Structure formats: C-alpha cells, structure tokens
Structure 1
Amino acid sequence: MSRTTEPLRIGILSFAHPHVEAYARSLVERGIEVVGTDLPPYDAGTQRGAALAERLGIEYLDDVDAVLARAPHGVIVTAENARHRELVLAAIAAGAHVLCEKPIATEVGDALAMVDAADAAGVSLMTAYPVRFAPSFRELVARVRAGQLGEIVAVSGTNNGKIPLDRSWFTNAAAAGGGALVDHVVHCADLLDELLGEPAQEVYATTNRILHADRGVAVETGGVVSIAYPSGVIATIDCSWSQPDSAATWGGLTLEVHGTNGSMRIDPFAAHLSGYAEGGATWDAFGTDLDGLMIDEFLGAIRESRAPSPDGSVGVRTLAIVDAAKRSVRSGTPVGVLATA
C-alpha cells in the first residue's frame, strides 16, 4: 500500500443497513467526497435510493459500476448480509480499501475469500465494529491487561434491541443469515476477541421465537450463546430483540468481566438524557460518537497506508462464533468453532 496524500473519495455500496446514515454523515462532516448507490428491493415506507442520498448530502450514482468507476480510495459496504461478498470483492477488484458492515458475511467460507482477496490485492478490509472504540471499553481493556482483575474467568455480554421490521431483510434468513443471533452476537464477540486475545473454542447456543410471535417472524428473536475459550474463560451473550417498539431508544450493549481479583462492568451507550416531553418518551444520547471514531480509523488507515483495526480477520473469527452458534442450535449440543487461520 502507498501513502495517500490527496483528498479522499469514498464510495458507499447499498443503503440497506440503517447504519449507512451515520457513516455518511460522518464522512460529510469530515469534508470527504462521497458517492453512493443503492440496490433494490426497498422496504415500503423506508427512504432509500436517491432520496436518501439527497438528504444525507452525498452524490447518487446509478449502479455499483458507476461508483467504482470514480476510483474511490475506499468503499463502505452497507448491504444485506448475504450481498457482502459480491460487493466487497467488486470493490477490492477496483483497488479500493473496504469497510464492511457486520457481520462480514453469512458464511465463514465467504468471509475467508474476502480476506484472501484483499490480501492478494494489497488493500485493507475492515469490519464495522464501532463499539470497540468506546472509551469505556478501551479503559476496561487497559485495566484487564494491567492485571487489576487478576485472571479472567468469565464474561457476560448483552446486546438487546428492537426488532428491525422497518428493514424487513433483517428477518429474512436468506438475506440476513438468521435473526437476532446473527444481528447481535457479533458486536459482543468482537469485544471478546479484543479483550481475551484468543479464538473461541466451543459454543453452545439456544434460541426461540417467543418474542414478537404475533408478527409471523420466521427467524429467531431471542437467544443466549455460551462460548468456551482455550484459557478456560466462559462467556455468555444475550442477543435478543427484546426492546419494545415503544422504547425511547434502539437498545443497548453491556459487558461484565469477572476475574480472580474482582469484576468490572461497562455500558457504552449509557450517557444520555431520558424522560418525557411533548410527543412521549425521550432518549437523547450525548456520549462519544462511536461511528465517527470508527470512520476516523478507516480513513486514517487509508491515509497512513496501514492495516485498520478491527480488520477482516476479526470479522472472520466473530462470524465463526455465529456459525458455531447456529450449528449448536440445530444440533442441541455444544459444537466446535471452525478454525479460521
């Protein structure tokens, strides 16, 4: 990779994932030239395509080839999970660095192919895990590495949110790869990957569709995943779509770490003002802009010709945990995690 000193141009492929709005705003706020395109089908009542691009203040082009023809320095892929591989490989073939929305793919084999293609092309592949940029998480990691908690024995994570019915592909197994388990396990798995520094060994998972049963959803809406690591650490993740539609915020994430000398807990999205005002319940976050910090890492890696963090290999390892969880649900037994290196 060569150092880039010219003004950056970033492409966005697909507006399917709602995170695209935060990413695009972060780029525009930083004075980055942004070109994007969307891919149908669109959900009724959800603003997509050229109308969304106009609202976000980015240039809209007709298709993926038109975006890549602009020779963007980097590309952000915010498509349905099942479309990640094709779009990431297209961006890599065009010589662009890539930030791919989580999970990196729906199949481990696809994720490995994406990492291999990026390595062969000499471009970087980054996985979109903004929560690892939270100051509270970074402080937690520093304290754990300093030995304040002694030997880590257990970790408990939660990532709960509203069911994303406004983007119906999230509840389509073919497009998303699954439901709440696929949507929410990976964020906590990324934090575990950074905190523990070792790949997962075995997974036992259980899911159900009790939540939102009246909505005809065919994917899992609630679940718990237990992960065993080679060091003996046991981690659990509650990955349910358990926030009601009436909740003032989308949901949240927490992480508790327990060691032989003590325990610590973080709640990265806790900084907010909440209450009731005209129109109902309010939730106004004022904490650190984690999406913005992640975008800064992506842009910095391009400018400085270095590997971004978290890279595609992290995306593969966290997807391997989801893959094992899905196999465990099917078998009803603990299963081994596929080797990814």
Structure 2
Amino acid sequence: MALQLASVKLWADNKNTAHEAYDGPVLRVAIMGLGGYGTRVAGAMQYCTKAKLVGAISGTPKKLTDWQDSFGIPAKNCYNYQTYHQIKNNPDIDAVYITTPNGLHHDMALAVAKAGKHVICEKPMALNAVQGQEMVDACKAAGVKLLVGYRMHFEPHTLEVIRMRKAGELGKILFFRGLCGFKIGDPKQWRLNKELAGGGSLMDIGIYAINGARYMTGEEPIWVTAQETKTDPVKFKEGVDETIQFQFGFPSGATASCLSTYNQNNLDKFFLNGEKGWAEMQPSTGYGPIKGRTHKGELNQPVTTHQTVQMDEFSDILLNGKQPVVPVDGNEAVKDLKIIDAIYAAVKTGKKVELSL
C-alpha cells in the first residue's frame, strides 16, 4: 500500500494538479475491492476536490482496518461481501466504485444498484454484452447511474488528439493502430483465471485498444476479424488468451489494426493517421505521463493523476449533470463488450464478424 500511495503522491504533487477553490457538492464514494487498483484510486482520491473516499468494502478484515487507519474511513462505513447490501441504510455513501476482478462486477453492480447507490465499475464492465446490458437495465430500474472507469477519456493529451480530429486538423481518418500488452508474471493471479477474468489479455489490456480505436477515429466499427497466438498453453489455459491480433472496419472506410498480449513489453502505443496529418502516443494509456506528438509537433498538455481527475469528473457527471467529451456510462461499456464478444467469435470461427453498435 505504501508503494501505491507513494506512486500516486508523486503525480499528485505535480504543479499541474494544483487545486482550485470549490464549494459545490462532493461525491461520497466507497471502494469495493481493496487490491492494487483500489488502493491506487484511494490514494488518488486524497487529492480530489469534488469527490471523497468515505467507505470500503472487502472480504479481508485486515484490509478494512488498514484502510480505516490510512484513509480515515469510519468503521461504520466499512463492510464485507456478506454485509455490503446494508449500504442501503447508510446516507453517508453516494456511490460504490467496484474494482474487483471482472467476473464479480455483474452481481456486485446489481446489488449496489438495488441498495440505491450509484455504481462506478472498472473496465471491462462485465464478462460479456449480455451481462453488461443487465447491469445497465438494473441501474436504470433502480434510478441510479452507472459509470465505468474510462480514465483516458479525461486525459489531456488524449483529449487534444480528439480535439484535433474533430476540428479536421488530421483530415479524413484512414487508419488506427493500437498496441497494448505486457509480459504477465504470477501464473496463479486472477487475471489468468477464466472464471474471474473472463478471458486473458483482451479482457485486461486489450480493452484499451478497443475503446481507443473508437474514440480516436470517432466511429463505431462495423466488422471485426481476429487471430489468436498461444505459445504457452500451460500458463494460458483454455479460454485464457495470451495474444490476440484484431482488425476493425469503420463506416467511412477507415480501418484499425490492434494487438493485445500478455507476452510482450514495450508496447502501449497508439497511432492515428489521416489524409492531412497524424498523431502518435507512447505511452498511450499507462498510469505515468502520457507522451505524444503529431505532424504539428510534440504534445505538451498537463500531466495529471488520471484517477484524481476521473473521480472529480465523475462527481460532476453524477451530481451536476456534466456531459463528458467521450461517454463513460454503461451504454459506452456495453459497446466495448459487444466488440469483445465479436473478437472472440472471430477467433473461434476464423471469419469476419459483422457488428451493429
């Protein structure tokens, strides 16, 4: 936890994250799933102005006591996985951020919605599009909102490329390339467990290329083709993909070529090409500083702590009705899940799969 917080503080102390005076409503959040990413979000939230960490939900008692000490969370706002439905009776919590393994998102989101709290869920939102739509429907029926942790939708360098594309500075978009991956370690971790992860690299790092292809081109894919490569069937068991290459076609005629892998480092790269110009980002989605350049020169937008900005933006969306440049709601996530379903179908059949989003 100390390492996570030190990393977050390093970015939060950057001069570009200086606070501005704020006296509006504050979103009060409980985090469910106190692992590595939950801890990163918690640390980043210490620097939010519009959102506050007020609760914690975990199946590990020691984590709950540690978080009470580290983040000043009152014991009355701490729950385990058997008692968290009781948040219904806790007026101090507005929303729950689910950062548990993918396979747990669906049931937890339904329970949080039933308790009358807004749902914030990490991506991918569910294991498939059917589950995702059920989450959207449950939140709508409960009268609560559903947001997904698309932190890159608020990242300044990313938003500048989107602005340039919308302004026509790149001309007609022709091609996108997204390379996402890393060499995964511990073979016993949940990310290599089909039941908990729902797949392999595609369900973890590949989501960035999928979503990135959509917000970079500004279009929805209408077909997908895909191929899987597996060099270690012991580590990457049946249903857990090691490497998948996938391609999209868009209504304008633009195409995308992407790679998702658990067997290569030195990736995390986006490239967008148009008739008048281009944009390249590397790193394009990592936690540290995003770097990029275009045909006009280097991108020099502010460096931010992604999770701090995301949670403040989520507060504005949930409490003030703000509309983000790129959607971050459940419907946006269902589209990604439909694409993931199509990629897996294309891998299995070897055929082009038509899409209608």
Q: Determine if the TM-score, normalized by the shorter chain, exceeds 0.5.
A: yes
* 1:300 to 2:316 alignment: yes
Distance in 1 (alpha carbons) for counterparts of 2:63 and 2:309: 26
TM-superposition CA deviations, 1:126-165 (whole Å, max 9, x none): 1111122221111111111111121111100111224153
Distance in 2 (alpha carbons) for counterparts of 1:266 and 1:129: 17
* 1:12 to 2:58 alignment: no
Q: Is the 8 A contact 1:158 1:188 kept in 2?
A: yes
Q: Give 1:216 deviation, angstroms.
A: 2.6
Indicate the larger mover: 215-224 or 292-301.
215-224
Q: Give 1:75 deviation, angstroms.
A: 0.9
- 1:38 aligned residue (58, 66, 69): 58
Q: Give 1:207 deviation, angstroms.
A: 1.7
Name the counterpart of 1:310: 328
When residues 320 and 287 of structure 1 are mapped into structure 2, their CA distance, relative to the original with a 3 A threshold, is: same
Name the counterpart of 1:107: 128
Question: Match of 1:85, SS?
Answer: helix
TM-score normalised by structure 2 residue count: 0.78
Structure 2, gaps ≥5 residues long? 1-22, 291-301
Distance in 2 (alpha carbons) for counterparts of 1:201 and 1:262: 24
Q: Is the 8 A contact 1:24 1:56 kept in 2?
A: no
- 1:253 aligned residue (244, 260, 268): 268
Distance in 1 (alpha carbons) for counterparts of 2:64 and 2:57: 8
Question: Match of 2:258, SS?
Answer: strand
TM-superposition CA deviations, 1:203-253 (whole Å, max 9, x none): 11112222xx28633122212111112221111111112346xxxxxx662
Q: Is the 8 A contact 1:205 1:224 kept in 2?
A: yes
Q: Is the 8 A contact 2:59 2:80 kept in 1?
A: no
Q: Which amino acid aligns with 1:326?
A: Y
Q: Which amino acid aligns with 1:10?
A: V
* 1:217 to 2:236 alignment: yes
Q: Is the 8 A contact 2:223 2:354 kept in 1?
A: yes
Q: Is the 8 A contact 1:156 1:256 kept in 2?
A: yes
* 1:49 to 2:63 alignment: yes
Distance in 2 (alpha carbons) for counterparts of 1:331 and 1:180: 19
Over aligned residue pairs, what C-alpha RMSD do you find?
2.8
Number of matched pairs: 309
TM-score normalised by structure 1 residue count: 0.81
- 1:323 aligned residue (341, 350, 355): 341
- 1:21 aligned residue (29, 32, 39): 39
Q: Which amino acid aligns with 1:19?
A: Y
Q: Is the 8 A contact 1:164 1:170 kept in 2?
A: no
Question: Match of 2:38, SS?
Answer: helix
Q: Give 1:195 deviation, angstroms.
A: 3.0
Listed as ranges, the matches of 1:56-67 within 5 Å are: 56-57=70-71, 59=73, 60-63=78-81, 64-67=84-87
Question: Match of 1:147, SS?
Answer: coil
Displaced runs of 4 or more, over 6 A: none
Distance in 1 (alpha carbons) for counterparts of 2:26 and 2:148: 23
